[in-house]
Amino acid sequence: MNAPRPGNGTPLLEVRDLVVHHGQLRALDGVSLRVFPGEVYAIIGANGAGKSTLLRTIAGLHQPTEGAILYDGKDMTKVRPERRATAGIAMVPEGRRLFGSLTVEENLQVGATYARKGPWTIERVYELFGWMSERRTQRTAQLSGGEQQSVAIGRALVANPRVLLLDELSLGLAPVVVQRIYAMLPQILATGLTVLLVEQDVSQALRVASHLQCLLEGHTTLEGRPSDVTPAQVEAAYFGLAEGDGRAEGPPQGGSGGMGPPGSGGVTGGVVPPGEKGA
Ligand code: ATP
């Protein structure tokens, strides 16, 4: 998915110099990005970097103190979250946030309540996730983490968004489950969607992204196409090291099996700090 990036034209989603506070804390400090139609744009960064704050602000759940959010060329900065959703911005929140006492199908129906017209229906979601139809009457609280994540994605898809915001799909899931979920991405993109995702699992983000940005303590520390950045640059940006320092003490441990391209000899331990991921 490392396709050339459109050099001109209107980005579908644009964030300009965004500053967001949580009380006294400046969680985002002048972050900008441009996401073009059909892209998979990945935001990476360690715990507390401001990734979720960025997605939640785009969805309208936090109000920025400075900066602007443009969607399809229109200023959405002060638009209410529900209007952003009906305009075509949908989010799969960190931790899924399903209605656990409702069934799979009822959760999908919630997502479809104010749906735009488009290709995604509950039946189409069942086709995407082969197991789901048979379990449609099961409460989502009884599903595994990976199954719940799939329902959360389905719930966002049935709203027929143009931009899908994915917050930490991999959180708490075994690597094999994460890979299975990300394997659905091409089918989702094929229906015309644009994706902005947040990932702590850098290897995974690099595999799927056409463009990436690394945040550290609310600042942008790296931006570019995965093919244009080296593992050392990513590692330095992720941890806030001067470039090259990341290799000085050997690769960090943990994570999901390496962020460098196969055989690159790059950071082979992954940059996710130990203990971040459950199984
Ligand atoms: P994580 O992977 O841990 O979710 P993140 O990169 O998504 O990290 P954020 O969740 O955006 O980071 O948090 C950025 C900073 O803002 C952190 O210091 C966090 O503690 C703080 N923060 C986030 N949400 C709130 C909130 N609602 N109230 C106060 N502080 C918050």
Q: pLDDT class for 6, splitting at 50, 70, 90?
A: low
Pocket-testing residue among 15, 51, 171, ligand 1, by greatest number of atoms within 8 A of Cβ: 51
Among 60, 64, 67, 51, which Cα is nearest to 17's?
Answer: 67
Q: Which of 20, 31, 53 maximizes ligand 1 atoms within 8 Å of its Cβ, making it the mutation to test the pocket? A: 53
Average pLDDT over residues 210-223: 95
53 lines ligand 1 (CB under 6 A): yes
The residue type of 85 is A
Higher per-residue pLDDT: 42 or 100:
42
28 CA closest ligand 1 atom index:
14
271 within 8 A of 202, measured Cβ to Cβ: yes
Q: Is 57 in the pocket of ligand 1 (CB under 6 A)?
A: no
Domains and CATH numbers, the chain: 13-246 (3.40.50.300)
Pairing mode of beta strands 89-92, 74-75? unpaired
Query: 143 or 171: which carries more pLDDT confidence?
Result: 143
Say yes or no: CB of residue 51 within 6 Å of ligand 1. Answer: yes
- Residue 81 amino acid letter: P
Distance 6 CA to ligand 1 centre (A): 31
Nearest CA to ligand 1 atom 1: 47
Per-residue pLDDT, averaged over 241-269, amounts to 38
pLDDT at position 2 is 45
Which of 18, 52, 63, 92 for mutating ligand 1's site (highest number of atoms within 8 Å of CB)?
52
Give the Cα separation of 76 and 276 in Å (integer).
34
Helix (H, G, I), strand (E, B) or coil at 157: helix
pLDDT given at position 5: 59
**Residue 60 is which amino acid?**
G
The tokens of 190 are what?
A: 């094929």
Q: Is 256 in the pocket of ligand 1 (CB under 6 A)?
A: no
What per-residue confidence (pLDDT) applies to 263?
A: 29
CB 204 within 8 A of CB 182: yes
Using most ligand atoms within 8 A of CB, pick from 25, 220, 272 the residue to mutate for ligand 1.
25
Strand residues in 7-159 grouped as ranges (E): 13-22, 25-35, 40-44, 66-71, 74-75, 89-92
CB atoms within 10 A of CB 54: 28
CB atoms within 10 A of CB 10: 12
Match 């027929």 to its residue by tokens: 160
The overall average pLDDT reported for the chain is 83
Confidence band for 10, pLDDT divided at 50, 70 and 90: confident
- Hey, what's the torsion of the CAs at 243, 245, 251, 257, to 10 degrees? -20
Using CA atoms, how far apart are residues 123 and 133, in angstroms rounded to an integer? 8
Give the distance (Å) from ligand 1 centre to CA of residue 49.
7
- What phi and psi, each to the nearest 5 degrees, are found at residue 195? -125, 130
Cα 190 to ligand 1 centre (Å)? 32
The SS3 of residue 151 is helix
* Predicted confidence (pLDDT) at residue 54 exceeds the cutoff of 60: yes
What's the confidence (pLDDT) of residue 266?
31
Q: Within 25-164, where are the H helices?
A: 51-59, 81-87, 104-112, 122-128, 145-157
Query: What is the spatial distance between Cα 127 and Cα 136, in angstroms, rounded to a whole number?
Result: 12
pLDDT tens digits, 149-160: 999 999 999 999
